[in-house]
Amino acid sequence: MNPFAVLGLEPSFDVDLASIEKTHRELSRTLHPDRYVGAGAAERRMALGKAVEVNEAWRAVRDPVRRAEALFELANVPVGERVEPKPTTALLMDMMEQREALAEAKAARDMGRVNALARTIEERMAATERALSEGFRRGATAPLVQTLGELRFYRRFLDEVSAIEDEIAHGAA
Amino acid sequence: MALLEIFDPKAPPKPIGIDLGTTNSLVAFVQNERPQAIADCDQDFLVPSVVNYGPKGEVLVGRLAVARAALEPRDTIVSVKRFMGRGANDAETRRLGPYEFVPAKAGESNVVRFRVRGRELTPVEVSADILRALKRRAEDELTNIGGVVITVPAYFDDAQRQATKDAGRLAGLDVLRLLNEPTAAALAYGLEKKKNGLFCVYDLGGGTFDVTILLLEDGVFQVKSTGGDSALGGDDMDRLVAEEVLNVRGGSPTEIRAALDMARQMKHGLTDASEVVVEDTRLTRERFDALIQPLLDRTGIACRRALKDAGIKPEQLDGVILVGGSTRVPAVRAYVQKVFGKEPLADIDPEQVVAMGAAVQADLLAGDAQDDVLLLDVLPLSLGIEVGGGIVDKILPRNTTIPTGARATYTTQEDKQTGFEIHVVQGERELVQDCRSLARFTLKGIPPMAAGMAKLEVELKVDADGLLAVHAKELVTGIEQTVEVKPSYGLDDEAVEKMLLDALDHGEEDLLARRIAEERVEAHRIVAATKKALDTDAALLGDGERPKIEAAIRAAEDAAQGTEPHRMHSAIEALDLASKEFATRRMNRAIARAFEGRKVDDVATEVG
């Protein structure tokens, strides 16, 4: 599936999310299963299939990791952690340290420290996204796969931060 | 002057909405564009969610069951909603009441089973008994009921939603949709007409508290965040009054019950008076308000967290809606006003508002005028697959708009591995042990290959009700295997079918009559939809297509007159097939129009 085509877009890493969200909403209004409650089974299945496709496309386009993956796939560059080049030792060491710091902050229930660590990674994530955007614009697709790997590490770190936030917030009550 | 309604056997089936609550349930419908709840002959709208099972297999629901609860505590299931989608071995299950549980056997679904009068009953069956009572009430009022919308809490996970839908099916209801309770409350207030806004729903019931932040954008509702406390409600207020005012801190169950009833009576009295005297005990509203302040503060913590999760400040809210009987307490209203800085909406009865909203949605779904409002739900929790080392591979992140689907491919870790164990979990954490298990199954029969050679594709699909389906296939051999998923905390289709047959044994249902009715509803639905499409989109018909479709319509109408479900089913399928290409053309045009509408919008914004 080409998620850009499903949403009527040209493939690009630079996207106007507010405008695409509106397109997604219009398509949902047309295709959502609630619009086909009275229809026949075949038509219901068809609408459901298309609604799923539109939602998958929207999810792919709005997430920088998946958006980059879609662009690589369109350029026939294989992606996925098994085929991508291994991360550099420097990145691995660095992420290990950050993770340890996060685990310590969590154990101390120090939300200030957790947030500070998250901000550092958010900034690096933003810089990595800028690098991807520039790379795709220059058409230097294949060498960018390494950058995508970096983005994955940051994403997972921030996922863990939000899980910790939930846990501390809910445990405090 | 009220117009008399004349009984019309051909009256179209009336869609209904059901609030299947923890403490009380009720049913509502829409008449003359206004939702209204249905009362019994005593003008009572609420059906207590209590079911009593008698020695001869008789089933009592509601007030009659409440009356037996004290005498037959183990045979009277109270607040069954708390058990929906739970595991038999969950620590929490044991804490929830005086029941006898059947331990889960190895290899069997880990669903809660009550042992009642020698029968094993799941929460799905108990809920179905409540739904049957509501169905009877609706049939008494409306004769012929149509599609049903049932509400669920916004935080309900897949297993809990599935259990609710199974209960509806078991009760013989045509469940059109499950609807989030807070969204239902917003619909009852007609907030969808505003097109845009941010709303908070504050729901304080008998034993649970929920707070939800809802976003309405261009007529599309989304749940932004939810929070609450599953053990906080009006019952806690009664207990405080019983302990602190009536000085009852123990004693026989009968004594405690009497004290709680008296406390509740005092609480109700204080809604309109500043002081009550019951059996020589005096209680002022001032003292009562001070007693319940700690409970209110606990709701405040959850409210502030929900606002933070949604990333908004109280002043950004366009409205706050009160739901649940406990929000009648004046101190609760004052507290809500203080926390959110605005007066809450309370003109609809807070105990009826959710059922009324469900009725509005059922009416919208069944009717033609569906153009204004759409409820877009999102996944409340991420879905993932267990990979090596107990790590979760997150496949569908939370807040993904549903319906949706996603695929991921995996490979074997050992040489000559012929089976894959697939474990689907729900939750935000990285480790499987910190997430909730949804389904586990093994894909077998893969020919022996070297490690890493086999390629397994797992597909997760989530429908518009938030229900999950899992499919797996091995890509290298091309073997597509249908895998039966055994939900970790739910019932598989086979189990639900068996329950349907059991109900038959108990003389409750006539299965053939039900099949006929179901197929007939479906036939009427499709015939009506196809006729309407022929009228409105005649221009999209190809050469010779109209007579072909019209013949199939006549065949379906003929079959629906009869009493053979199989014939009706084939006629429906034939009509589906005959109009398939026409339907495809109509859908493609609708998509093209959605893109066009968008472009027109863009131009308008640029010019404006």
Give a yes or no: residue B16 inside a domain. yes
Mean pLDDT across chain B: 85
Q: What is the 3-state secondary structure (H, E, C) of B360-386?
A: HHHHHHHCCCCCCCEECCECCCCEEEE
A85 touches chain B (CB under 8 A): no
For residue range B455-504, what is the model confidence (pLDDT) as tens digits? 888 888 888 877 788 888 888 776 666 554 545 555 666 676 676 666 65
Q: Are residues A51 and A98 in the same domain?
A: no
For chain A, the domain total comes to: 2
- Measured between beta carbons, the chain A residues lying within 8 angstroms of B229 are 173
Nearest CA in chain A to B397: A59
Summarize the confidence of residues B292-319 as an average pLDDT. Answer: 90
For residue A147, what are the domain limits?
89-172
For residue range A12-50, what is the model confidence (pLDDT) as tens digits? 999 999 899 889 888 988 888 888 877 877 888 888 899
Q: What are phi and psi of B204, to 5 degrees?
A: -110, 105
Most confident of A158-172, B80-94, B121-135, B252-266: B121-135
Whether the predicted pLDDT of B599 surpasses 90: no
Q: Which residue, A17, A43, A62, sits at the end of a domain?
A: A62
For residue range B362-389, what is the model confidence (pLDDT) as tens digits? 998 887 555 566 777 777 778 899 987 8
Residue B371 has what pLDDT? 56
Least Cα distance to B587 among A79, A141, A53 occurs for: A53
Whether the predicted pLDDT of B2 surpasses 50: no
Q: By the 8 A CB rule, do B212 and B154 touch?
A: yes
Q: Are residues B164 and B17 in the same domain?
A: yes
Q: Are residues B39 and B132 in the same domain?
A: yes
Residue B578 has what pLDDT? 93
* CA of A90 vs chain B CAs: smallest distance (Å): 23
Summarize the confidence of residues B399-408 as an average pLDDT. Answer: 84
Decide if A38 and B366 are in contact by the 8 Å CB cutoff. Answer: yes
Decide if B598 and A22 are in contact by the 8 Å CB cutoff. Answer: yes
Helix axes B493-505, B123-142, angle to 10 degrees: 60
A163 touches chain B (CB under 8 A): yes
Whether the predicted pLDDT of B533 surpasses 80: yes
* CA of B200 vs chain A CAs: smallest distance (Å): 20
Q: Which residue, B328, B360, B377, sits at the end of a domain?
A: B377
Whether the predicted pLDDT of B601 surpasses 80: no
* CA of B65 vs chain A CAs: smallest distance (Å): 35
**Which amino acid, B89?**
N
Give a yes or no: residue B27 inside a domain. yes
Residue B5 has what pLDDT? 52
Residue B133 has what pLDDT? 96
Give a yes or no: residue A133 inside a domain. yes
Give a yes or no: residue A111 inside a domain. yes
Q: Are residues A54 and A19 in the same domain?
A: yes
E strand or H helix at B16? strand B14-20
Give a yes or no: residue A97 inside a domain. yes
B165 touches chain A (CB under 8 A): no
Q: Return the percentage of chain B with pLDDT > 90, whole number.
A: 42
pLDDT band at A162 (very low <50, low <70, confident <90, very high): confident
CA separation for the pair B300, B296 (Å, rounded): 6
Size of interface A-B (CB pairs under 8 A): 135
Whichever domain contains B463, its CATH number is: 2.60.34.10
Give a yes or no: residue A112 inside a domain. yes
Least Cα distance to B530 among A43, A31, A27, A46 occurs for: A43
Q: By the 8 A CB rule, do B412 and B420 touch?
A: yes
Whether the predicted pLDDT of B106 surpasses 70: no
Decide if A41 and B591 are in contact by the 8 Å CB cutoff. Answer: no
Residue B381 has what pLDDT? 77
E strand or H helix at B596? helix B580-607
B380 touches chain A (CB under 8 A): no
Whether the predicted pLDDT of B58 surpasses 70: yes
Give a yes or no: residue B5 inside a domain. no
How many Cβ atoms from other residues are within 10 Å of residue B457's Cβ? 14
Q: Are residues A93 and A164 in the same domain?
A: yes
Hey, which residues 96-135 in chain B have their CB within 8 Å of chain A?
none
Summarize the confidence of residues A127-151 as an average pLDDT. Answer: 91
CA separation for the pair B408, B580 (Å, rounded): 31
Q: Are residues B90 and B167 in the same domain?
A: yes
Whichever domain contains A35, its CATH number is: 1.10.287.110
Residue B33 has what pLDDT? 86
B372 touches chain A (CB under 8 A): no
Q: Are residues B405 and B389 in the same domain?
A: yes
Q: Are residues A124 and A163 in the same domain?
A: yes
Provide the H-helix boundaries in chain A: 3-6, 17-31, 41-62, 64-74, 89-107, 111-138, 145-172
Q: Are residues B254 and B311 in the same domain?
A: yes
CA separation for the pair B98, B120 (Å, rounded): 16
Residues of B labelled catalytic:
19, 81, 181, 203
Give a yes or no: residue B502 inside a domain. no
pLDDT band at B128 (very low <50, low <70, confident <90, very high): very high
For chain B, the domain total comes to: 4
CA A155 to chain centre: 8
Q: Are residues B304 and B360 in the same domain?
A: no
Of the candidates B528, B597, B598, the beta carbon closest to that of A38 is on: B528
Give a yes or no: residue A73 inside a domain. no
Residue A35 has what pLDDT? 81
Hey, which residues 448-507 in chain B have their CB within 8 Å of chain A?
461, 463-464
Q: By the 8 A CB rule, do B422 and B471 touch?
A: no
Give a yes or no: residue B603 inside a domain. no
CA separation for the pair B540, B548 (Å, rounded): 14
For residue range A57-112, what is the model confidence (pLDDT) as tens digits? 998 999 999 999 999 999 998 887 777 888 889 999 999 999 999 999 999 988 89
Q: By the 8 A CB rule, do B375 and B347 touch?
A: no
Whether the predicted pLDDT of B4 surpasses 90: no
Most confident of B80-89, B358-367, B591-600: B358-367
For residue B321, what are the domain limits?
229-340
Quick check: helix, strand or coil at residue B391? Answer: strand
Quick check: helix, strand or coil at residue B405? Answer: strand
CA separation for the pair A94, A91 (Å, rounded): 5
Whether the predicted pLDDT of B287 surpasses 70: yes
Residue A173 has what pLDDT? 40
Whether the predicted pLDDT of B172 surpasses 50: yes
- Give the mutation candidate from B383, B519, B598 for the A interface (greatest A CB count, under 10 A): B598
Which residues, in sequence order, are CB contacts of A7 under 8 Å at separation 6+?
A20, A23, A24, A27, A54, A57, A58, A61
Give a yes or no: residue B595 inside a domain. no
Q: How many CA atoms lie within 13 A of B376 on its CB side?
A: 27
For residue range B335-365, what is the model confidence (pLDDT) as tens digits? 999 999 999 998 999 999 999 999 999 998 8
Q: By the 8 A CB rule, do B84 and B163 touch?
A: yes
Whichever domain contains A150, its CATH number is: 1.20.1280.20
- Measured between beta carbons, the chain B residues lying within 8 angstroms of A55 are 400-404
More confident: B27 or B486: B27
**To which residue do tokens 């299945």 refer?**
A45
Decide if B526 and A160 are in contact by the 8 Å CB cutoff. Answer: no
Decide if B375 and A34 are in contact by the 8 Å CB cutoff. Answer: yes
Give a yes or no: residue B194 inside a domain. no
Whichever domain contains B526, its CATH number is: 1.20.1270.10
Hey, which residues 296-355 in chain B have their CB within 8 Å of chain A?
298, 301-302, 305
Decide if A163 and B594 are in contact by the 8 Å CB cutoff. Answer: no
E strand or H helix at B548? helix B545-561
Q: Which residue, B424, B456, B478, sits at the end of a domain?
A: B478
Q: Are residues B26 and B78 in the same domain?
A: yes
A45 touches chain B (CB under 8 A): no
CA separation for the pair A66, B328 (Å, rounded): 48
Q: Are residues A48 and A121 in the same domain?
A: no
Decide if B601 and A22 are in contact by the 8 Å CB cutoff. Answer: yes
* CA of B231 vs chain A CAs: smallest distance (Å): 12
- Give the mutation candidate from B176, B222, B370, B426 for the A interface (greatest A CB count, under 10 A): B370
Whether the predicted pLDDT of B608 surpasses 50: no
Q: Are residues B75 and B113 in the same domain?
A: yes
Dig out the tokens for A149 from the structure.
């790997």
Nearest CA in chain A to B406: A56
CA B390 to chain centre: 31
Residue B518 has what pLDDT? 80
Q: Are residues B44 and B177 in the same domain?
A: yes
Question: Strand B436-443 and strand B275-278: pairing?
Answer: unpaired
Give a yes or no: residue A69 inside a domain. no
- Measured between beta carbons, the chain B residues lying within 8 angstroms of A173 are 229, 298, 301-302
* CA of B126 vs chain A CAs: smallest distance (Å): 28
Q: Are residues B20 and B128 in the same domain?
A: yes
Of the candidates B579, B584, B594, the beta carbon closest to that of A30 is on: B594
A17 touches chain B (CB under 8 A): no
For residue range B111-123, what is the model confidence (pLDDT) as tens digits? 888 999 988 899 9
Instruction: Write the ipTM.
Output: 0.77
* CA of A142 vs chain B CAs: smallest distance (Å): 22
Of the candidates A40, A58, A159, the beta carbon closest to that of B579 is on: A40
Q: Are residues B141 and B127 in the same domain?
A: yes
Q: Are residues B275 and B356 in the same domain?
A: no
* CA of A119 vs chain B CAs: smallest distance (Å): 17
Q: By the 8 A CB rule, do B221 and B214 touch?
A: yes
Whether the predicted pLDDT of B605 surpasses 60: no
